[in-house]
Amino acid sequence: MRVLTFGTFDVRAHPRVGILADGLRRHGCDVQECNVPLGIDTAGRVAILQRPWLLPKLALRIVRCWATLVRRARAMPPPDVVLVGYLGHFDVLLARLLFRRTPIVLDHLVFAADTAWDRGARGGVKQALLRALDRAALRSADVIVVDTEEHRSMVPAQWYDRAVVVPVGAAQQWFDAGSAAAEDSGARPTGGVRVVFYGVYTPLHGAPVIGQALSKLADDPVDVTMIGNGQELAATRAAAAGNPRVTWLSWVEPEDLPKLVADHDICLGVFGTSPKARRVVPNKVYQGAAAGCAIVTSDTAPQRRVLGDRAVFVPAGDPDRLAEALRSLAADPLEVARLRRAASSLARERFASHQVVEPLLDRLRGLAPLLEAS
Protein backbone atom coordinates (compact mmCIF):
# COMPACT_ATOMS: atom_id res chain seq x y z
CA MET A 1 0.00 0.00 0.00
CA ARG A 2 1.41 3.39 -1.03
CA VAL A 3 0.69 6.06 1.57
CA LEU A 4 1.48 9.73 1.03
CA THR A 5 1.76 11.96 4.09
CA PHE A 6 0.61 15.37 2.92
CA GLY A 7 0.35 18.88 4.29
CA THR A 8 1.94 21.76 6.15
CA PHE A 9 2.59 19.80 9.35
CA ASP A 10 5.87 20.06 11.26
CA VAL A 11 7.00 16.67 12.59
CA ARG A 12 9.74 18.30 14.66
CA ALA A 13 7.21 20.34 16.65
CA HIS A 14 4.28 17.92 16.44
CA PRO A 15 5.51 14.32 16.09
CA ARG A 16 2.07 12.71 15.70
CA VAL A 17 2.10 12.23 11.92
CA GLY A 18 5.68 10.98 12.11
CA ILE A 19 4.56 8.27 14.53
CA LEU A 20 1.72 7.27 12.20
CA ALA A 21 4.07 7.17 9.21
CA ASP A 22 6.68 5.14 11.08
CA GLY A 23 4.06 2.69 12.29
CA LEU A 24 2.70 2.17 8.78
CA ARG A 25 6.21 1.61 7.45
CA ARG A 26 6.84 -1.01 10.12
CA HIS A 27 3.77 -2.82 8.86
CA GLY A 28 5.12 -2.87 5.33
CA CYS A 29 3.48 0.18 3.79
CA ASP A 30 5.40 2.29 1.29
CA VAL A 31 5.17 5.72 2.94
CA GLN A 32 6.26 8.83 1.05
CA GLU A 33 6.16 12.44 2.23
CA CYS A 34 4.87 15.61 0.59
CA ASN A 35 5.39 18.22 3.29
CA VAL A 36 6.03 21.96 3.46
CA PRO A 37 5.85 23.11 7.10
CA LEU A 38 3.70 26.19 7.61
CA GLY A 39 5.88 27.45 10.45
CA ILE A 40 2.95 28.43 12.70
CA ASP A 41 2.19 26.25 15.71
CA THR A 42 -1.20 25.49 17.28
CA ALA A 43 -1.16 28.57 19.48
CA GLY A 44 -0.25 30.79 16.53
CA ARG A 45 -3.00 29.38 14.32
CA VAL A 46 -5.61 29.76 17.05
CA ALA A 47 -4.45 33.34 17.70
CA ILE A 48 -4.83 34.20 14.02
CA LEU A 49 -8.26 32.60 13.80
CA GLN A 50 -9.28 34.65 16.84
CA ARG A 51 -8.19 37.87 15.08
CA PRO A 52 -9.83 38.07 11.64
CA TRP A 53 -7.62 40.98 10.57
CA LEU A 54 -4.63 38.58 10.66
CA LEU A 55 -6.26 36.05 8.34
CA PRO A 56 -4.63 37.51 5.18
CA LYS A 57 -1.22 36.76 6.74
CA LEU A 58 -2.25 33.15 7.34
CA ALA A 59 -3.79 32.85 3.87
CA LEU A 60 -0.65 34.16 2.16
CA ARG A 61 1.56 31.71 4.00
CA ILE A 62 -0.80 28.81 3.26
CA VAL A 63 -0.94 29.70 -0.45
CA ARG A 64 2.86 29.77 -0.68
CA CYS A 65 3.13 26.38 1.01
CA TRP A 66 0.32 24.94 -1.08
CA ALA A 67 1.98 26.01 -4.34
CA THR A 68 5.02 23.95 -3.40
CA LEU A 69 2.88 21.04 -2.21
CA VAL A 70 1.01 20.95 -5.51
CA ARG A 71 4.25 20.90 -7.54
CA ARG A 72 5.72 18.13 -5.42
CA ALA A 73 2.54 16.05 -5.35
CA ARG A 74 2.20 16.13 -9.15
CA ALA A 75 5.77 14.87 -9.52
CA MET A 76 5.20 11.85 -7.27
CA PRO A 77 3.69 8.44 -8.12
CA PRO A 78 -0.06 8.29 -7.42
CA PRO A 79 -0.67 7.11 -3.83
CA ASP A 80 -3.21 4.55 -2.69
CA VAL A 81 -3.97 6.61 0.42
CA VAL A 82 -3.28 10.23 1.40
CA LEU A 83 -2.65 10.93 5.09
CA VAL A 84 -3.14 14.61 5.96
CA GLY A 85 -1.08 15.47 9.03
CA TYR A 86 -1.99 17.12 12.33
CA LEU A 87 -3.40 20.66 12.09
CA GLY A 88 -4.62 19.78 8.62
CA HIS A 89 -7.96 21.61 8.73
CA PHE A 90 -7.04 23.57 5.61
CA ASP A 91 -4.66 21.04 4.03
CA VAL A 92 -7.35 18.38 3.77
CA LEU A 93 -9.37 20.71 1.54
CA LEU A 94 -6.44 20.95 -0.87
CA ALA A 95 -5.88 17.19 -0.67
CA ARG A 96 -9.49 16.58 -1.62
CA LEU A 97 -9.03 18.74 -4.73
CA LEU A 98 -5.75 17.13 -5.75
CA PHE A 99 -6.66 13.51 -5.01
CA ARG A 100 -10.32 13.35 -5.98
CA ARG A 101 -10.57 9.56 -6.24
CA THR A 102 -8.01 8.63 -3.57
CA PRO A 103 -9.03 7.79 0.02
CA ILE A 104 -8.00 10.58 2.35
CA VAL A 105 -7.15 10.12 6.01
CA LEU A 106 -7.28 13.20 8.24
CA ASP A 107 -5.34 13.16 11.50
CA HIS A 108 -7.89 15.26 13.39
CA LEU A 109 -6.08 15.36 16.71
CA VAL A 110 -7.67 18.68 17.67
CA PHE A 111 -11.00 20.30 16.88
CA ALA A 112 -10.41 23.98 16.06
CA ALA A 113 -13.50 25.22 17.91
CA ASP A 114 -12.78 23.06 20.97
CA THR A 115 -9.16 24.19 21.16
CA ALA A 116 -10.07 27.86 20.81
CA TRP A 117 -12.75 27.50 23.50
CA ASP A 118 -10.25 25.89 25.86
CA ARG A 119 -7.89 28.82 25.29
CA GLY A 120 -10.52 31.45 25.99
CA ALA A 121 -11.98 32.27 22.56
CA ARG A 122 -15.69 31.89 23.26
CA GLY A 123 -17.32 34.52 21.08
CA GLY A 124 -20.33 33.34 19.12
CA VAL A 125 -19.09 34.41 15.69
CA LYS A 126 -15.59 33.02 16.19
CA GLN A 127 -16.91 29.72 17.48
CA ALA A 128 -19.34 29.47 14.56
CA LEU A 129 -16.52 30.03 12.06
CA LEU A 130 -14.27 27.48 13.73
CA ARG A 131 -17.05 24.90 13.91
CA ALA A 132 -17.63 25.45 10.21
CA LEU A 133 -13.91 24.87 9.58
CA ASP A 134 -14.02 21.63 11.60
CA ARG A 135 -17.04 20.42 9.65
CA ALA A 136 -15.49 21.25 6.28
CA ALA A 137 -12.35 19.33 7.23
CA LEU A 138 -14.28 16.30 8.49
CA ARG A 139 -16.50 16.28 5.40
CA SER A 140 -13.43 16.09 3.17
CA ALA A 141 -11.96 12.97 4.79
CA ASP A 142 -12.77 9.31 4.19
CA VAL A 143 -11.13 8.32 7.48
CA ILE A 144 -10.99 10.60 10.52
CA VAL A 145 -8.26 9.75 13.03
CA VAL A 146 -8.81 10.89 16.62
CA ASP A 147 -6.89 10.00 19.78
CA THR A 148 -9.57 9.13 22.37
CA GLU A 149 -13.11 7.80 22.46
CA GLU A 150 -14.12 11.11 24.00
CA HIS A 151 -12.89 12.96 20.92
CA ARG A 152 -14.56 10.44 18.64
CA SER A 153 -17.87 11.28 20.33
CA MET A 154 -17.45 14.88 19.09
CA VAL A 155 -17.49 13.83 15.43
CA PRO A 156 -20.93 14.71 13.96
CA ALA A 157 -23.28 11.75 13.52
CA GLN A 158 -23.13 11.76 9.72
CA TRP A 159 -19.36 11.15 9.80
CA TYR A 160 -19.06 9.21 13.05
CA ASP A 161 -18.51 5.88 11.28
CA ARG A 162 -15.51 7.36 9.49
CA ALA A 163 -13.71 8.01 12.79
CA VAL A 164 -11.13 5.65 14.26
CA VAL A 165 -9.33 6.01 17.59
CA VAL A 166 -5.54 5.85 17.29
CA PRO A 167 -3.63 6.63 20.51
CA VAL A 168 -0.93 9.28 20.25
CA GLY A 169 1.93 6.97 21.22
CA ALA A 170 5.60 7.91 21.39
CA ALA A 171 8.38 8.18 18.81
CA GLN A 172 11.35 5.81 18.95
CA GLN A 173 13.73 8.40 20.40
CA TRP A 174 11.73 8.41 23.63
CA PHE A 175 12.20 4.66 24.04
CA ASP A 176 15.90 5.02 23.21
CA ALA A 177 16.28 7.75 25.84
CA GLY A 178 14.52 5.58 28.41
CA SER A 179 16.81 2.63 27.69
CA ALA A 180 19.92 4.81 27.96
CA ALA A 181 18.72 6.34 31.24
CA ALA A 182 18.03 2.89 32.69
CA GLU A 183 21.59 1.83 31.89
CA ASP A 184 22.95 4.94 33.64
CA SER A 185 20.63 4.72 36.65
CA GLY A 186 23.45 3.70 38.97
CA ALA A 187 25.13 7.08 38.48
CA ARG A 188 22.07 9.03 39.61
CA PRO A 189 22.08 10.87 42.94
CA THR A 190 20.03 9.22 45.67
CA GLY A 191 17.45 10.85 47.93
CA GLY A 192 14.29 12.68 46.92
CA VAL A 193 12.85 12.76 43.42
CA ARG A 194 13.36 14.73 40.24
CA VAL A 195 10.14 15.83 38.56
CA VAL A 196 9.65 17.26 35.06
CA PHE A 197 6.80 19.06 33.33
CA TYR A 198 6.87 20.35 29.75
CA GLY A 199 4.24 21.99 27.60
CA VAL A 200 2.81 25.19 26.20
CA TYR A 201 0.95 26.17 29.38
CA THR A 202 -2.56 26.11 27.97
CA PRO A 203 -5.55 25.74 30.31
CA LEU A 204 -5.92 22.02 29.70
CA HIS A 205 -2.45 21.51 31.22
CA GLY A 206 -3.53 23.08 34.49
CA ALA A 207 0.01 24.36 35.05
CA PRO A 208 -1.06 26.85 37.77
CA VAL A 209 -2.26 23.83 39.73
CA ILE A 210 1.27 22.47 39.47
CA GLY A 211 2.63 25.84 40.60
CA GLN A 212 0.34 25.85 43.63
CA ALA A 213 1.42 22.31 44.51
CA LEU A 214 5.08 23.26 44.22
CA SER A 215 4.55 26.13 46.64
CA LYS A 216 3.72 23.51 49.28
CA LEU A 217 6.88 21.48 48.58
CA ALA A 218 9.59 24.08 49.18
CA ASP A 219 10.96 22.12 52.16
CA ASP A 220 10.67 18.68 50.58
CA PRO A 221 13.31 16.82 48.52
CA VAL A 222 11.42 17.36 45.28
CA ASP A 223 13.49 18.99 42.53
CA VAL A 224 11.39 20.16 39.62
CA THR A 225 12.17 21.19 36.04
CA MET A 226 9.43 23.22 34.33
CA ILE A 227 9.89 23.50 30.56
CA GLY A 228 8.03 25.65 28.07
CA ASN A 229 6.21 28.91 27.57
CA GLY A 230 2.65 29.99 27.00
CA GLN A 231 -0.63 31.39 28.20
CA GLU A 232 -0.47 30.40 31.88
CA LEU A 233 3.28 30.47 32.50
CA ALA A 234 3.22 33.74 34.47
CA ALA A 235 0.46 32.48 36.78
CA THR A 236 2.34 29.22 37.28
CA ARG A 237 5.61 30.93 38.14
CA ALA A 238 3.85 33.30 40.52
CA ALA A 239 2.19 30.38 42.31
CA ALA A 240 5.50 28.53 42.70
CA ALA A 241 7.60 31.60 43.50
CA GLY A 242 8.34 30.48 47.08
CA ASN A 243 9.97 27.21 46.02
CA PRO A 244 13.73 27.50 45.31
CA ARG A 245 13.94 23.91 44.04
CA VAL A 246 12.24 24.72 40.72
CA THR A 247 14.24 25.24 37.53
CA TRP A 248 12.48 27.08 34.70
CA LEU A 249 13.48 26.45 31.09
CA SER A 250 11.71 28.36 28.34
CA TRP A 251 12.78 26.03 25.53
CA VAL A 252 14.47 22.71 24.90
CA GLU A 253 15.25 21.56 21.36
CA PRO A 254 12.92 18.68 20.39
CA GLU A 255 15.86 16.34 19.76
CA ASP A 256 17.22 17.06 23.27
CA LEU A 257 13.93 16.74 25.13
CA PRO A 258 13.71 12.91 25.40
CA LYS A 259 17.06 12.62 27.17
CA LEU A 260 16.27 15.50 29.51
CA VAL A 261 12.92 13.97 30.48
CA ALA A 262 14.44 10.49 30.88
CA ASP A 263 16.93 11.94 33.39
CA HIS A 264 14.01 12.62 35.77
CA ASP A 265 12.11 10.21 38.00
CA ILE A 266 8.58 11.55 37.50
CA CYS A 267 6.85 13.12 34.51
CA LEU A 268 3.78 15.23 35.19
CA GLY A 269 0.76 15.00 32.91
CA VAL A 270 -2.15 17.46 32.88
CA PHE A 271 -4.26 18.80 35.73
CA GLY A 272 -6.74 21.19 34.10
CA THR A 273 -10.47 21.00 34.75
CA SER A 274 -11.79 22.14 31.38
CA PRO A 275 -13.92 19.82 29.23
CA LYS A 276 -11.01 19.44 26.82
CA ALA A 277 -8.69 18.42 29.65
CA ARG A 278 -11.08 15.58 30.47
CA ARG A 279 -11.02 14.28 26.89
CA VAL A 280 -7.29 14.00 26.24
CA VAL A 281 -4.35 11.77 26.96
CA PRO A 282 -1.49 14.23 26.41
CA ASN A 283 1.72 13.58 24.49
CA LYS A 284 3.75 13.89 27.66
CA VAL A 285 2.02 10.89 29.27
CA TYR A 286 3.00 8.59 26.39
CA GLN A 287 6.44 10.12 26.01
CA GLY A 288 7.22 10.20 29.73
CA ALA A 289 6.29 6.53 30.08
CA ALA A 290 8.43 5.60 27.06
CA ALA A 291 11.30 7.54 28.65
CA GLY A 292 10.98 5.43 31.79
CA CYS A 293 9.46 8.02 34.12
CA ALA A 294 6.78 7.40 36.69
CA ILE A 295 3.62 9.20 35.57
CA VAL A 296 1.59 11.48 37.83
CA THR A 297 -1.46 12.97 36.15
CA SER A 298 -5.13 13.86 36.60
CA ASP A 299 -7.76 11.24 37.28
CA THR A 300 -9.75 11.29 34.05
CA ALA A 301 -11.49 8.51 32.16
CA PRO A 302 -9.26 8.48 29.04
CA GLN A 303 -6.04 8.56 31.07
CA ARG A 304 -7.20 5.74 33.34
CA ARG A 305 -8.22 3.76 30.28
CA VAL A 306 -4.73 4.09 28.79
CA LEU A 307 -2.60 3.87 31.94
CA GLY A 308 -4.61 1.48 34.12
CA ASP A 309 -2.84 0.90 37.42
CA ARG A 310 0.59 1.96 36.17
CA ALA A 311 0.42 5.63 37.14
CA VAL A 312 -0.49 7.87 40.06
CA PHE A 313 -3.76 9.75 39.58
CA VAL A 314 -4.84 12.86 41.47
CA PRO A 315 -8.09 14.81 41.17
CA ALA A 316 -7.97 17.42 38.41
CA GLY A 317 -7.46 20.95 39.70
CA ASP A 318 -6.37 19.83 43.20
CA PRO A 319 -2.92 21.21 44.16
CA ASP A 320 -3.11 19.77 47.69
CA ARG A 321 -3.54 16.22 46.43
CA LEU A 322 -0.81 16.72 43.83
CA ALA A 323 1.61 18.00 46.48
CA GLU A 324 0.68 15.09 48.74
CA ALA A 325 1.35 12.58 45.96
CA LEU A 326 4.77 14.05 45.15
CA ARG A 327 5.74 14.26 48.82
CA SER A 328 4.75 10.63 49.32
CA LEU A 329 6.79 9.50 46.32
CA ALA A 330 9.81 11.48 47.47
CA ALA A 331 9.72 9.46 50.69
CA ASP A 332 9.36 6.09 48.94
CA PRO A 333 12.12 5.39 46.38
CA LEU A 334 11.03 1.76 46.00
CA GLU A 335 7.57 2.86 44.89
CA VAL A 336 9.06 5.36 42.45
CA ALA A 337 11.22 2.59 40.99
CA ARG A 338 8.19 0.30 40.71
CA LEU A 339 6.14 2.96 38.96
CA ARG A 340 8.96 3.71 36.55
CA ARG A 341 9.27 0.06 35.61
CA ALA A 342 5.49 -0.24 35.26
CA ALA A 343 5.23 2.81 32.98
CA SER A 344 8.16 1.71 30.84
CA SER A 345 6.71 -1.79 30.49
CA LEU A 346 3.31 -0.40 29.49
CA ALA A 347 4.89 1.88 26.90
CA ARG A 348 6.77 -0.98 25.30
CA GLU A 349 3.62 -3.10 25.26
CA ARG A 350 1.29 -0.49 23.76
CA PHE A 351 2.78 2.92 22.87
CA ALA A 352 5.27 2.16 20.07
CA SER A 353 4.40 3.39 16.59
CA HIS A 354 3.67 -0.05 15.11
CA GLN A 355 1.30 -0.76 18.02
CA VAL A 356 -0.74 2.43 18.12
CA VAL A 357 -1.20 2.48 14.34
CA GLU A 358 -2.93 -0.91 14.19
CA PRO A 359 -6.52 0.46 14.33
CA LEU A 360 -5.73 2.78 11.41
CA LEU A 361 -4.16 -0.04 9.45
CA ASP A 362 -7.26 -2.18 10.00
CA ARG A 363 -9.42 0.67 8.74
CA LEU A 364 -7.23 1.15 5.66
CA ARG A 365 -7.49 -2.54 4.85
CA GLY A 366 -11.25 -2.12 5.01
CA LEU A 367 -11.08 0.56 2.30
CA ALA A 368 -10.48 -2.03 -0.42
CA PRO A 369 -13.42 -0.87 -2.61
CA LEU A 370 -12.18 2.71 -2.51
CA LEU A 371 -8.61 1.64 -3.21
CA GLU A 372 -9.71 -0.42 -6.20
CA ALA A 373 -11.68 2.54 -7.58
CA SER A 374 -8.85 5.04 -7.15
Could you give the CA distance from residue 215 to residue 114 in angstroms, rounded to a whole number?
A: 31
Strand segments (E) across the chain: 2-7, 30-35, 81-84, 104-107, 143-146, 163-165, 193-199, 222-228, 246-249, 266-268, 294-298, 312-314
Domain match, 43 and 155 both: yes
- DSSP at 8: S
Domain match, 207 and 187 both: yes
**Which residues form the domain of 141?**
2-169+353-373
Domain match, 133 and 227 both: no
R_g (Cα) of the chain, nearest Å:
21
Look at the chain and count its residues: 374
Q: Walk along the chain (374 residues) and give the pLDDT tens digit of each residue.
A: 999 999 999 998 889 999 999 999 999 999 999 999 988 766 666 565 556 666 677 788 889 999 999 999 999 999 999 999 988 999 999 999 999 999 999 999 888 777 767 666 566 777 788 888 899 999 999 999 999 999 999 999 999 999 999 999 999 999 999 999 998 765 566 679 999 999 999 999 999 999 999 999 999 999 999 999 998 999 999 999 999 999 999 999 999 999 999 999 999 999 999 999 999 999 999 999 999 999 999 999 999 999 999 999 999 999 999 999 999 999 999 999 999 999 999 999 999 999 999 999 999 998 866 665 55
| Contact status, residue 329 vs residue 307, Cβ threshold 8 Å | no
Read off the CATH number of the domain in which 106 is found. Answer: 3.40.50.2000
Domain match, 306 and 163 both: no
Domain match, 56 and 185 both: no
Calculate the CA 42 to chain-centre distance.
11
Domain match, 290 and 338 both: yes
Residue 105: strand pairing partners: 83, 143
| CA distances for 289 relative to 16, 48, 81, 224, 262, angstroms | 16, 34, 31, 17, 9
Domain match, 22 and 55 both: yes
Domain match, 99 and 213 both: no
Q: What is the pTM of this model?
A: 0.92
| Number of domains comprising the chain | 2
Could you give the CA distance from residue 203 to residue 282 in angstroms, rounded to a whole number?
A: 13
Residue 248: strand pairing partners: 226
Domain match, 154 and 241 both: no
